[in-house]
Structure 1
Amino acid sequence: MKGKVLKLLKESGNEFVSGQRISEELGVSRTAIWKYINIIKEDGYEVEAISRKGYRIISSPDILTFEEIKDYLSTEYIGKNLIYCDSIGSTNSKAKELAEGGEQHGTVILSEEQTQGRGRLGRNWVSPKYKGIWMSIILRPNIITENISQITLLGAAAVQKAIMKMGIKTSIKWPNDIVLNSRKVCGILTEMSGEIDHINYLIMGIGINVNLDEKDIPMDLKDVATSLFAESGKHIDRKILIANVLNSFEELYSAFVRNGNIKETIGICRKNSILIGKEIQLINRGKITTVKAIDISDTGELVIENAQGMIEHIVSGEVSIRGIYGYGQ
């Protein structure tokens, strides 16, 4: 019911909505309306109440509920079912639990903070409250399992595209990191449940360091992690950024699952790659090899030249990559 009251207030813009109208449309008493208005205020909304005029919203809080995001969202299915949490252990863990229970394709689990956020290889991911975008998307793609690695590239391309719409130029560290000034601002963690020839579901976790201050980044991570705000000096509207990510992701994802088209995704990853043309270190089962990154193939593999001058194609997930010139693991 709180959501319905909030929807009426937001739809009215700067106009007052009378208590009588709310009461009639929602079938609740004036006392109940007052209770919901107070709850809305506790959520951070500034609500003006004037006798014989009614209520109107003066300002909205910087929160990522569906009500706050929906006006910027142009998707058909990604994010239309959005599960919002004030605090959670891990959005990926919650998404897997919900997916196991049959939660629908395109559902987004989003939290203002994570207390047990994680990245690849079990690393911790610092996720302070109201400072970033911490979310997971439940996907049920009808594709062959060998093409799963391409979905991670879709996520990277979508985030890159979304951040650039905000006026900030970032780069992609194939396959799953977005970097700014040689430090990570976004990580993507894709996890799968399925068999050899069938995918039950995929969970794509996306963590973006949006408005973190320097003090929010642990001392031991300052050399490898940063935020959009820390590097640009611009406070980013998280509502617009998250909608940009979801809008771009659905566009790229739909083209991929419908007809296998990843041309735009590969183009974005190539054009904005921080690796191509540089020497990098491949780390596979503890063994470190220095190679040169040459290209990203049309199917999303990293094309490298090894020490013997041979060309190899590296599949996402086979190895870890460490830059020699400052872009960390």
Structure 2
Amino acid sequence: MEGTRKQLIELLFSHQSDYVSGQFLSEQLNISRSAIWKHMNELKKSGYEIEAVTNKGYRIINVPNALSEDALRWGLKTDWLGSRISFHQSVQSTQMVAHELARAGASHGTIVLANEQTNGKGRMKRYWDSKSGLGLWLSMILRPHELEPKNATQITLVAAVAVADVMKQLGIDIKIKWPNDLFINDRKLAGILTEMQAEQDQIDYIVLGIGLNVNHGLDDFDQSIKQQATSLHLETGTIHNLNELFQQVALSFEQLYERFIEQGFLSIKSEWEGYAYKLGEWINVRAQGEWPAKLVGIHEDGALKVIDQQGNEHLLYSAEILWS
């Protein structure tokens, strides 16, 4: 059923400027015209606007804004990322579900999405507010067997650039705060979480989580983060289609990920630095005491590059950064 629905959506999408006859769809999918009609009704229930005209056929007028598996697939232009989509109305955490699927053998490129997370987590197990219908809460299963485990954290940086590129296309001045946050005007828009299962010398799988605040109003944020968080809606005044935004993020990440695997992080380093939060500014570092440092870039292995007041360069891998 899932494969047939996906093929139907792809056929409608490929003929979106014209009507597609029920007979043509029936022949292409090798199912009855009655079955085509039933699938169309299911698509309508998912929020699609479908026009049906006698002697002409079917045509999609509009796709739903609310997340649904059908809408997520419709127009997805990736080659392998999202080849399997596990969509849920509500889960504790997409990371938890993705780990379960990965341990059960889920393929490279599988994506878990949820309309809501009841126990979403960010880095350092911090709570991530993931209310229903307001953002993109997703986790990707990646199996980069050619990548050394020591370089796995670089995927966080690659994902940050991929999301930042999409924001740039939307006309948003976005910044990446090392190692895993995206900021607009000093407020957090998105967070990225990378978790790995590996042997000593080989990665079994990586679960890459992305939480992106999209259609939140100010009152939609928990009181504890209201002054630190923002959303695309708050910054642009626009309600964004979650399905289309997911498709843009997925395509952007797939393209950057393939370059990363083929050429390494060095090929993406300058792009990351172009988005770097507080690049060229002084911050405070907590590592063997607290000391001021100037952020000058990022090393090709993903470490943050700073200089101290004496002009000595330091590479930071896990230090606590005091940004203000």
Q: Give me the whole-angstrom Cα distance separating, in 2, the residues matched to 1:296 and 1:67.
A: 40
> Contact 1:157/1:269 (CA < 8 Å) preserved in 2?
yes
State the shift of 1:291 in Å.
Answer: 3.4
1:206 has 2:210 as partner: yes
2-structure distance, mates of 1:312, 1:171: 22
**Cα deviation per residue 1:124-150 (whole Å; 9 max; x = unaligned)?**
111223322111111111222211221
TM-score normalised by structure 2 residue count: 0.86
Is the aligned partner of 1:322 residue 2:309? no
Q: Secondary structure at the match of 1:110?
A: strand
Comparing 275-284 with 107-116, which one deviates more in the overlay?
A: 275-284
Tell me the CA shift for residue 77 of structure 1.
Answer: 1.8
1:304 to 303, 306, 310: 306
Note if contact 2:142-2:206 (Cα within 8 Å) is conserved in structure 1: yes
Q: 1:42 to 1:201 in 2, by over 3 A?
A: same
Are 1:119 and 2:122 an aligned pair? yes
Structure 2 segments unaligned to the other structure (5+ residues): none
Question: 2:259 maps to what in 1?
Answer: 255
Aligned pair in 2 of structure 1 residues 5, 268: CA closer, same or farther (>3 Å)? closer
Q: How far apart in 1 are the matches of 2:285 and 2:175?
A: 19
Q: 1: distance between equivalents of 2:296 and 2:177?
A: 13
* 1:169–1:52 Cα change, 3 Å: same
Output the CA distance in 2 between the equivalents of 1:183 and 1:222.
10
Q: CA deviation at 1:68?
A: 3.5
Residue 129 of structure 2 aligns to a residue in which SS?
Answer: coil
Equivalent in the alignment of 1:277: 280
Aligned pair 1:79/2:82, yes or no? yes
Q: How does 1:18-97 map to 2 (within 5 A)?
A: 18-19=21-22, 22=25, 26=29, 28=31, 32-50=35-53, 54-65=57-68, 67-69=70-72, 72-97=75-100
Consecutive unaligned residues of structure 1, counting only runs of 5 or more, are 325-329
Aligned equivalent of 1:175: 179
Structure 2 counterpart of 1:292, which letter?
K
- Quote the residue 1:100 is aligned against: 103
Report the counterpart of residue 234 of structure 1 in structure 2: 238
SS of corresponding position for 1:219: coil
Alpha-carbon distance in 1 for matches of 2:20, 2:76: 25
Q: For residues 303 and 128 of structure 2, what CA distance do their matches in structure 1 show?
A: 26
Amino acid at match of 1:192: M
Which segment drifts farther, 52-61 or 97-106? 52-61
Please name the residue that 1:313 is paired with: 315
1:136-151 matches, cutoff 5 A: 136-141=139-144, 142-151=146-155
Secondary structure in 1 aligned to 2:44? helix
Gap change, CA 1:251 and 1:16, over 3 Å in 2 = closer
> Is 2:196 the counterpart of 1:196?
no
Query: How has the CA–CA distance of structure 1 residues 165 and 264 changed in structure 2, closer, same or farther, with 3 Å as cutoff?
Result: farther
Q: Which residue of 2 aligns with 1:327?
A: none
> 65-74 or 185-194, which moves further after superposition?
65-74
Q: Distance in 2 between matches of 1:162 and 1:234?
A: 16
Q: Distance in 2 between matches of 1:224 and 1:218?
A: 10
**Structure 1 residues 251 and 123, CA, compared in 2 at 3 Å: closer, same or farther?**
same
C-alpha spacing 1:18/1:179, structure 2 compared with 1 (3 Å): same
Structure 1: which amino acid aligns with 2:183?
A: V
d(CA) in 2 for partners of 1:31, 1:172: 51
- The code of the aligned residue for 1:220 comes to S
Instruction: Say if 2:127 is the partner of 1:135.
Output: no
Q: Write the distance in 2 (CA, Å) between the matches of 1:19 and 1:73.
A: 23
Structure 2 CA distance for partners of 1:55 and 1:96, relative to 1, 3 Å = same
Between 41-50 and 203-212, report the one with greater CA deviation: 41-50
CA contact (8 A) 1:91 1:135 kept: yes
Look up the equivalent residue of 1:321 and give its one-letter code. I
Between 122-131 and 67-76, the greater mean CA deviation after superposition: 67-76
Q: With structure 1 as the length reference, what TM-score do the two structures score? A: 0.85
Structure 1 pair 29/235, CA: closer, same or farther in 2 (3 Å)?
same
The one-letter amino acid of 1:229's match is H
Fraction of identical pairs, as percent: 38
- How far apart, CA to CA, are the structure 2 residues paired with 1:115 and 1:283? 33
Secondary structure at 1:220 match in 2: coil
> Is the partner of 1:221 in helix, strand or coil?
coil
User: What is the CA RMSD across the aligned residues, in angstroms?
Assistant: 2.8
The alpha carbon displacement at 1:252 in A equals 2.2
